[in-house]
Homo-oligomer: A and B are copies of this chain.
Amino acid sequence: MDITEFRKHAHDMVDWMSDYLSDIESYPVKSQVNPGEIISSLPTHAPENPESMEDIMADVKKTIMPGITHWQSPNFYAYFPANSSYPSILGEMLTATLGVQGMIWDTSPAATELEEVIMNWLKDMMGLPKDFYGVIQDTASTASLVAILTARERISEYQINAIGYFTNKYRIYCSTEAHSSIEKAVKIAGFGKEALVKIEVDNELKMSPGKLEEALKGDIMDGLIPCCVISAVGTTGTVAIDPIDLIGDICKRYNVWHHVDAAYAGTAMILEENRYMIKGIEKADSYVFNPHKWMFTNFDCSAYFVKDKEALVKTFEILPEYLKTNADSVVNNYRDWGIQLGRRFRSLKLWFVIRSMGVKGIREKIANHIQWAGELSELIKKDAHFKLHEPQNLGCVCFQLNEAIGENQEKRNSLAKNLMDSINQSGKLFMSHTKIKGEFTFRFVIGNTYVTRKHVMDSWTYIASEASKNLKNV
């Protein structure tokens, strides 16, 4: 392929992309293929000779598309969104073309400096403290691992980095509702799963600060060393909001690193009325939210903020001869701010999104999603088949079968799972689930870039009618 052919194929691709995004609602939201179906329809060996872009795109249509779950469909309500947007895609096109590897300032100053500027924009947009330093990580899993590692080094006075674990008395704390990535990070960092203390939650599934303080006190009495508390502004199951102001005070009192995981909910801080959720954030040591979830920016793009930049860099810094440059003493070299050496130019898509939508445009979309989630919640409350989980927070609506459906929890769970599977198999919409005290709970998260009130209402109408059809009248 030469540049002339590339230009032609890229224009064809743009038409394919635009057609796809126009027609996205004609696809079943959740892929309907069976395990192994795609593998069995692909050749077992790479082609020796070049194949035409026409053939490749024909296979995309025939083989790949049936295996796609359409995360960008307005009727995708599962998990949390991993949404994109038109300006974000344009940003990704530019990123791929420049093909910059921004491991250090010198290898593309614009990648480093734009990242610094945009992270500062985000602090301002989201009401985050001015003394935080921002850096883009790939995912919140990585960001939380980075926080835990930095906390580990600060408490050990950088001795674990130097000589390894000399005690297994460190303890990490999160609630029973914290994301699975916390346990994964604790294992990776070498603390061991047993070092992770899961603090009980209250009836609203928020971490109990009293229980946290009890645990910290007890552990210290037992000669253990509290290292890090991870609280959630928006748990993954139900978007419960841990009381980070109180937790922050406790962390200060016991000299423990406080990391706040707001992966999904963080974007909602663009609306001042939601900032009560991060009241006290200035006491936290680190904070993460994912523009790639709810801020219309392609995955992966996770915004990580840390107060003690020196501790972060001291945890990760390396400086081999082949990476030394003339600018090292006066610039940020982000290779020392995380796990990986290599870095994509990820701030570009974020810059495109913020400028093209304006802060106002982002704020309006987020406000709409939250508003519609509230409206949907009211409808669920009025439907006798269902019970709304409350408090309902932001764009995430959790609901269960009414207790009168099915004689016991096991029976209800089976009915609920069958109902969800059949709704998802219809292809009309895709939602996911969690469990609350053993009870199967539907999760319906409104956050797609181009979702409208009508999509939400039509989806609800379908869910309600399927419930009427398949569940007994109550």
Q: Which residues of chain B are within 8 angstroms of A90 by Cβ–Cβ distance? A: 6, 9-10, 13, 53
> A64 to B114, Cβ gap below 8 A?
yes
**Do A108 and B67 contact each other (CB < 8 Å), given the known contacts A121-B45, A300-B342?**
yes
Q: Which residues of chain B are within 8 angstroms of A434 by Cβ–Cβ distance? A: 321-322
A221 at the interface (CB under 8 A from B): no
The quantity of this chain's copies bound in the complex is 2
The 8 A CB mask of A36-59 against B (1 = contact, 0 = none) is 111100101111111101011000
A22 at the interface (CB under 8 A from B): yes
Report the contact-size class of chain A (Cβ under 8 Å from the partner). Answer: 35 or more
**Do A99 and B299 contact each other (CB < 8 Å), given the known contacts A9-B86, A93-B10?**
yes
> B3 to A21, Cβ gap below 8 A?
yes
The 8 A CB mask of A338-349 against B (1 = contact, 0 = none) is 011110100010
Give the CA-CA distance A285 to B191 in the complex, in Å. 25
> A15 to B7, Cβ gap below 8 A?
yes
Distance from A275 Cβ to chain B, minimum over Cβ atoms (Å): 17
A435 at the interface (CB under 8 A from B): yes
Q: Which residues of chain B are within 8 angstroms of A404 by Cβ–Cβ distance? A: none
> A42 to B236, Cβ gap below 8 A?
no
A161 at the interface (CB under 8 A from B): yes
A245 at the interface (CB under 8 A from B): no
**Per a CB cutoff under 8 Å, which of B72, B168, B319, B339 touches A98?**
B72
**Do A355 and B56 contact each other (CB < 8 Å), given the known contacts A10-B89, A50-B360, A322-B432?**
yes
> A109 to B31, Cβ gap below 8 A?
yes
Give the CA-CA distance A122 to B65 in the complex, in Å. 23
15 A-B contacts (beta carbon < 8 Å): A3-B21, A6-B21, A31-B109, A42-B113, A44-B120, A46-B124, A46-B354, A46-B359, A50-B356, A53-B90, A66-B110, A79-B101, A84-B99, A92-B96, A96-B298
**Per a CB cutoff under 8 Å, which of B86, B184, B187, B194 touches A3?**
B86
> B331 to A35, Cβ gap below 8 A?
yes
A160 at the interface (CB under 8 A from B): yes
Q: Which residues of chain B are within 8 angstroms of A190 by Cβ–Cβ distance? A: 152, 160, 164-165, 189-191
Q: Which residues of chain B are within 8 angstroms of A170 by Cβ–Cβ distance? A: 164
Other than A46-B122, A92-B93, A237-B321, give 4 A-B pairs with Cβ distance below 8 A.
A39-B113, A65-B110, A187-B315, A322-B432
Q: Which residues of chain B are within 8 angstroms of A66 by Cβ–Cβ distance? A: 110
Least CB separation from A64: chain B residue: B110
**Per a CB cutoff under 8 Å, which of B7, B139, B162, B356 touches A341?**
B139
Q: Which residues of chain B are within 8 angstroms of A79 by Cβ–Cβ distance? A: 101, 107, 322
> B109 to A38, Cβ gap below 8 A?
yes
